[in-house]
Amino acid sequence: MATLSPAEKAAGRAFRDAAQADLLATFDTDPPAFTVPSFLALYRHHCPARAGRSTALPLHEIYLHSPADGDVPAGRFGFIYRAGRCRSCGQQARSRAGRLVDAQVRPPIHGRVLRA
């Protein structure tokens, strides 16, 4: 794994800060019913559409690609958080914090993932 150049570090920090600010702004414009940790894949809630039964709410990985910044190409970094909606009642869940990843090391997840 190669070390990042000073320009890449600055671009990564700027992208992380902007993406985190945008994520937090969604809590004001479209607040979710539940705030969840960014590492969960399923969140169980008492679904009003199912008479209060415990129901899994799937949380999908939201992967944002970084824009171009000077000498740093677009897509060099990724910002990951989780969000989802209950299929029965429509309530939303979203993580409040995301994380910055090196897109060359950690690309987006596609399809099913085997969990050991």
**pLDDT tens digits, residue range 28-86?**
999 999 999 999 999 999 999 999 999 999 999 999 999 999 999 999 999 999 999 99
pLDDT of residue 1: 53
Residues contacting 92, CB < 8 A, separation 6+: 30, 32, 33, 34, 83, 84, 85, 86
Chain-centre distance for alpha carbon 18:
14
pLDDT of residue 110: 74
Please give the Cα distance from 100 to 16 (Å, whole number).
6
pLDDT of residue 115: 45
Average pLDDT, the chain: 92
pLDDT of residue 85: 95
Give pTM, 2 decimals: 0.87
pLDDT of residue 14: 97
Q: What are 42's two structure tokens?
A: 């399923």
